[in-house]
Structures are given as structure tokens and as C-alpha cells.
Amino acid sequence: MVRSSAENVVGYLAEVPEERRDALIRLRQLCRAELTGFDEVMAYGMPTYQRDGAAEIAFASQTQYISFYLMRSDVREAFEERLSGRDMGKGCLRFRKPGDVDFDLVRDLLRAVATAPGTIC
């Protein structure tokens, strides 16, 4: 995993590869719009969104892909059909190219997370 030493998300976005910057900025915009009441922090070297001190969402520019971290197992289970066949680890949805990011899916996941607290993996 590529970890940043940036102190804030603006600094993080300034240091990511230019070809990924627009996609990552758009991810940030979606997170800020949909995750009302969450705190945006840098944690584990990436932009992270916390509710009551618990990280529920994060994203990062990795060496080979853009990662979208969904730390809510209840939301992953609810979206099992839409996530099927995607490049996904336990809590990480991976997009190999910036153009591969499914912003509609990400928005829907964020809305589900924002609805209520749930189980963090």
C-alpha cells in the first residue's frame, strides 16, 4: 500500500499522479457531499472519513490502481449483487484506471453508509 505523509487531503491530492488526480478529486467531492456529519481526516496515509472516531470510508492512489475502502460489512452485503465480479478485496474496491471508477456505484455506497452506523470490519 502506498502511504502518504501529507498532513491533509488537499496536500494528498497535490502529490498523486496527475492522471489520477481528477478521479480522486471527484471521489473526495462525493464523500464530502454524501457523508454529512463525518470527519475528513488523513489516516493510514490516505483520505479517510470517520463517524464518531470510527473510519468507515477511505480512498487512495495505489501503485497499480485507485482504491476505495468500504469498511462497512453490512453495506458490502447489501450491495453484494452490484459488487459481484468487481476487483474487490475484503473491504477494498479497486479500479485499475481512473476511467474505470464507477461513480454511480460509489455514490450509492456512500449514501448507504451515511444512512446509519453499522458494522465496521
pLDDT at 26 over 70: yes
Q: Is the pLDDT of residue 32 over 60?
A: yes
Q: CA dihedral defined by 107, 103, 81, 2, rounded to 10 degrees? A: -100
Mean pLDDT of 5-23: 94
Q: What is the mean pLDDT of residues 14-24?
A: 95
Predicted local distance difference test score (pLDDT) of residue 5: 82
Contact assessment for residue 27 and residue 109, using Cβ atoms and an 8 Å cutoff: no
Instruction: Say which CATH class 9-113 falls into.
Output: alpha beta
Mean pLDDT of all residues in 97-101: 95
Is it the case that residue 4 has pLDDT exceeding 90? no
Instruction: Grade residue 20 by pLDDT with cuts at 50, 70 and 90.
Output: very high
Q: Where are the domains of the chain?
A: 9-113
Task: Quickly state the pLDDT bin for 107 (edges 50, 70, 90).
Answer: very high
The whole-model pTM stands at 0.93
Cα–Cα distances (Å) from 20 to 27, 35, 36, 51, 119, in that order, read 11, 22, 25, 27, 30
pLDDT, residue 57, reads 98
